[in-house]
């Protein structure tokens, strides 16, 4: 969308980050990662009986089966920070780490 706004074609070989700095449009991947981070913190601070909390911490009893392991919602969070459920209890520390979590997809 940024390319059509600025009238730039792919053949011009201008990076997306350069176009985003000109249009000031937030990258969709970064925005969704930020929303995921905020939701994960919210879920970790929920009452233990809530369905969202139970589904997030649930681990299958019989394993995952054969083939490539399926990705779970929390796998990205586990890769970024192993003890994220404990850190989420402290809101200030959680907010400070959220921006770095979201920006890791912008560099890929």
- Structural contact between residues 84 and 44, judged by C-beta atoms closer than 8 angstroms: yes
Question: Cα(50)–Cα(44) distance, rounded to whole angstroms?
Answer: 10
Q: Give residue 106's pLDDT band: very low, low, confident or very high (50, 70, 90).
A: low
Count of alpha carbons within 13 angstroms of residue 13, beta-carbon side: 0
Mean per-residue pLDDT of the chain: 86
Q: How high is the pLDDT of residue 107?
A: 58
Over range 19-30, report the average pLDDT: 84
pLDDT higher than 70, residue 85: yes
pLDDT higher than 80, residue 63: no
């Amino acid at each position: 969308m940024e390319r059509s706004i600025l009238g730039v074609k792919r053949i011009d070989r201008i990076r997306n980050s350069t176009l985003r700095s000109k249009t000031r449009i937030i990258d969709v991947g970064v925005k969704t990662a930020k929303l995921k981070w905020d939701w994960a913190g919210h879920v970790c601070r929920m009452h233990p009986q809530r369905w969202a909390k139970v589904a997030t911490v649930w681990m299958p009893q019989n394993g995952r089966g054969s083939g490539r392991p399926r990705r779970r919602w929390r796998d990205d969070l586990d890769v970024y920070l192993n003890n994220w459920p404990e850190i989420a209890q402290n809101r200030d520390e959680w907010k400070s780490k959220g921006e770095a979590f979201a920006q890791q997809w912008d560099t890929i």
